[in-house]
Each structure stands twice: as structure tokens, then as C-alpha cells.
Structure 1
Amino acid sequence: MLVLLALSGQAMAVERLTVRVLETLPHDINAFTQGLEWHQGRLYVSTGLYGQSSLRRLNGRNGELELQMALADSLFGEGLARVGERLVQLTWREGLALVWRLPGLELEMAHSYEGEGWGLCFDGDHLWMSDGSASLQRRSPVDFSLQQRLEVRLDGRSQPRLNALACAGEHIYANVWKQARILRIHKASGEVDGVIDASPLLPLSDRVAHREAVLNGIAHNPETGEFYLTGKWWPRLFRVRFVQASAPEPADAGWAAASSAR
């Protein structure tokens, strides 16, 4: 379904999509998922919470844990992106982007930045970072320096709470914190041209009964065009395709009140 909206005197098509589940994999229910990345048959997961944060490597066929590296208790793990043979892992309020070498996950160095770190993805040329606001930050993959701020807008309005990110072609896909929907953002303009209703995953997730157990974590497999989705404290991880929705998505789908935990 396409919804036409007027923006700066022009009509823009916003595609309404939903998820088609292709496979369900087991996931650690204790993982407070903050970032998710696919690479060569493996899934890499960044988990948060002070004293529990980690970087994990999972078998992409069965979801089994292959390797786990704990972060210092003073660090809160956040978004995750692959740049060549390295993974870059954000921290929430510590201003550090940790750089790990693949495949063994050896910590090499850390870049510093100002503000909070939420989501991260790499488009082949640039890193894109979210901080919970309505703006995405374009950063250098070499030294993590800030190059651009891009405001994200849907229906002519700024879209705050941008969280976990996945880069795919000319788009950036973004989880919206506390919502069961994903925005497809055209990275050249910042305009949202697609909205994915992921609420069908909620009853399938077997998530814990907690207001923080929300959808979070999105990874793109460029070889198949498929995506991997999960959430915080979800014992399920889903391989999905985004397909046309049969009806418009409710504006408040999956919304829950904000709280202090990330």
C-alpha cells in the first residue's frame, strides 16, 4: 500500500509494509539487544546494561552462541556496524566507539565522540549513527569524526527516537524506540519513504513481561535481501522479508511509555 503525502509542494509516496517470517531462531533471553549485524553466515550482537554488556558472535544457521566478549562494567553496549574486517560498537553515555577485529573479536582501539550512542550502520562509504533524536549523524569510518547531521522526517514531521540501524543500498532502516515499527529512510534526503509494521512479531517473540522488552536490533543480509529482527530480552530471533501491508499501520502501533533504561 502506498500513501501519498504532500511535502514542499510535491507528492511523496510512503510505502506501507509488514513482516513475513521466514525462519525463527533461538536467542538468549538475557540478551538486552542493542545492535545486530550479519556477516558471512554469522550474526553479531551488541548487548547493553551496565555490568552485562557484551559483543557476541552467533551461528547464523541455528542461533547458537560461538563467542562472547564482555565489556567493562562501566560500559553500556549499543549499536554495532561492520567496516571491512572490523566491528565498531557504540556505548551509550561513555562516548567510546569500540573497534574489534574479526573473526576473533580482539579489541583493537576506541574512538571518542560527544553525546549518546544508540544505533550504527555502515553503507560502504560512511558510518551512520543515531542518538535517540530525529537526526542521523554521518561519520568517518577511519576516525569516527562527525561529517554531517541529517534530519529524518515523515509526513512533514521530525521523527525522534531513532534507534538500531541497518544500511541497505540507498536506504537506512531504523527501529523506533518503544514502537513496533521500522522506518525506511532515504539517506540522501532524510525522508521516510517506507514504514514497516513489525507488530506481528510481538506475540511470536515470547519476550519477558517487562516494558523494556521491546523490538530492537535489525540486520540486513545483502546476499538475499532479507533482514534479521529481534528485541531486548527476546528468546526469539526472526529472519524476515518486508512485504506489502494489506492495511494502513495504526499510528501508535507498539507504543509504550518511555523509561530510563536503554
Structure 2
Amino acid sequence: MIALIIMITSAFSYTQYAQRIPKNKLSGKQQYLTRVLRDNINNPQYTQGFAFLNEDTILESTGLYKQSGIHYINLKNVNTLQNQYNLDGQFFGEGCDIINNKVYQLTWLEKKIFVYEKEDLQYIGQIDLPQKIKEGWGLTHRLFNEETQILISDGTGYIHILNENFQVLKSVLIFQGLTPVNYLNELEYANGILYANEYLKSYILAIDLDEGKVLAKYDFSELVYEAKRPDGCLNGIAFNQQTQTFWITGKNWPFIQEVKLF
């Protein structure tokens, strides 16, 4: 695999990638860029959600009962967790996102959304997921007709579209060709395209949400193999708006990999 395996280099020099690729031009190919190593022996993180706060700081939600939490990491020092907040042991953390200057974190079977201050992750309160959503899995958002829409996956092939009050507007079943997909998990919305992984699979799907169809499939089996984690499926997708690149990782992975998707 061609990759720059560097603790941290000029990770943010990729402004040449700022062009947007039309939906019908996605090829399913990727380019590996910077890699940042993590200490998953002494500081393991069961990644469930991933989203950029700013150019070099990522919001990370982690799972497992009695181990779930939320924190920031800086790509220049990924083993130091910033503003860490630990969930009560009865909650299993899932996807997370930063929406309108607040941080939101899903929980799995408990179907709660925890709300935090963006600056320091101070706990604000919680929201119940609508009954229609089976479980809390992935979370992201988009601007649609000048309004914020919340996008949630629940372990099925549906993406649920909610308004800012977390009321379901509609649910879209996603197809790859004529076949519905399943187990949609971690979500990231970027440049009009929804990116999602399928649970326990080694690829990321690019999805046209309005058409309900997969546009491209990115195979990261090479990275999954290198991670050497039997429990470590690909489960973190964060888009850096400044560099127009993605940083991806998985549960207890020993690295975070920057990639350009074509």
C-alpha cells in the first residue's frame, strides 16, 4: 500500500483538493495521504462517531457499556483526550455530530441523544429518539433548502431525515442497484453526498440521499487488515472541510488515515 506513514506531517497542505466532484463522476477510488498513529494498547478507543470541530481537531464518540464517552482529539497529539465526558455505565455511545454550535451524541439501545456545549463538552441534557427509529447508530446533518436536517441510521437500510426538533420528516431506504443495503452505520455528509459504512464491512458507500441510491463503493479492506483488530471494523468517518479530505478509523484501530475519495 502506498501511504505516508508519518506521526504528523504537512497534513493540511491539501488545499489543491478543494474542487468538488460531481455525483455522477465518483469512481470508487481513493488516494492514501497522511497517517497518524494511535496508542491502542494503553489508550484504546472504541470509535463510534467521528466529526471535525476545526481543521485539526476531531470530535470522537466511543462505545461499549461502562466505557462509553465523548471527547476531542487533536491530530497533532491524538493520544491526549480533550474535554472528555464519560457516559453513565447503562449507556452505549454511538454516532456524534456538531450541529448549530451544539454537540449531539446518540446512544444505541437506550435511544437517547445527549446534548453538550460545543466548546468544552459540558453536558446540557438529553432527547428521546422518535419511536420510528429502531436504534441509535450513525448521526450527521445537512443543509437542505436553507434548513438544517438531521440524518440518523438505525442499523437498517434506512436513513431517517429529521428536522431541528428531532421529528422525523421521512425515511429513505437506500439501494445498491436493485438490492436494498443493510446495517448502515457511521455517517458523514459532505458536498451533497452521504458517506456511510456498513457494520462489519470494510467499505464506505457514497450515497445520493435524495435518490436513495449508492453512487460509489470505496474498499478499505487493506486498512482493516493493517489495523489487526478482530473487533475493529471501520467505524469512523470525518470530513475536513478545509482540505476536502476524509480521515477514517475504526474501533480500537492503531491509526487514523487521511484519504482523498474520487
Q: Normalising TM by the smaller chain, what interval?
A: 0.7 to 0.9
| Matching residue within 44, 66, 72 for 1:57 | 72
Q: Displacement of 1:13 after TM fit?
A: 6.0
Alpha-carbon distance in structure 2 between the residues aligned to 1:203 and 1:14: 28
Which stretch has the larger CA shift, 63-72 or 94-103?
A: 63-72
Judging changes above 3 Å, is the alpha-carbon distance between structure 1 residues 103 and 217 closer, same or farther for their aligned structure 2 residues? same
**SS, match of residue 126 in structure 1:** strand
Residue pairs, 1:84-95, within 5 angstroms: 84-95=100-111
Structure 1: gaps (5+ residues):
1-11, 244-262
Corresponding residue for 1:213?
Answer: 232
8 A contact 2:224–2:232 mirrored in 1? no
| Matching residue within 137, 147, 165 for 2:187 | 165
Judging changes above 3 Å, is the alpha-carbon distance between structure 1 residues 187 and 106 closer, same or farther for their aligned structure 2 residues? same
Q: In percent, how many aligned pairs have the same letter?
A: 29
Corresponding residue for 2:13?
Answer: none
Alpha-carbon distance in structure 2 between the residues aligned to 1:28 and 1:158: 37
Structure 2: gaps (5+ residues):
1-22
Alpha-carbon distance in structure 2 between the residues aligned to 1:152 and 1:14: 19
**SS, match of residue 78 in structure 2:** coil
Superposition RMSD in Å: 1.7
| Matching residue within 93, 106, 110 for 1:77 | 93
Corresponding residue for 1:238?
Answer: 257
Corresponding residue for 1:248?
Answer: none
**SS, match of residue 94 in structure 1:** coil
**Matching residue's letter, 2:66:** G
| Matching residue within 130, 147, 162 for 1:139 | 162
Judging changes above 3 Å, is the alpha-carbon distance between structure 1 residues 14 and 196 closer, same or farther for their aligned structure 2 residues? farther
In the superposition, the TM-score normalised over structure 1's length comes to: 0.82
Residues 1:22 and 2:38 aligned together: no
**SS, match of residue 28 in structure 2:** strand
**Matching residue's letter, 2:98:** R
Corresponding residue for 1:198?
Answer: 220
| Cα shift readout 1:1-53 (whole Å, capped 9, x = no counterpart) | xxxxxxxxxxx968442332211113352211110001212101000000000
In the superposition, the TM-score normalised over structure 2's length comes to: 0.82
**Matching residue's letter, 1:60:** L
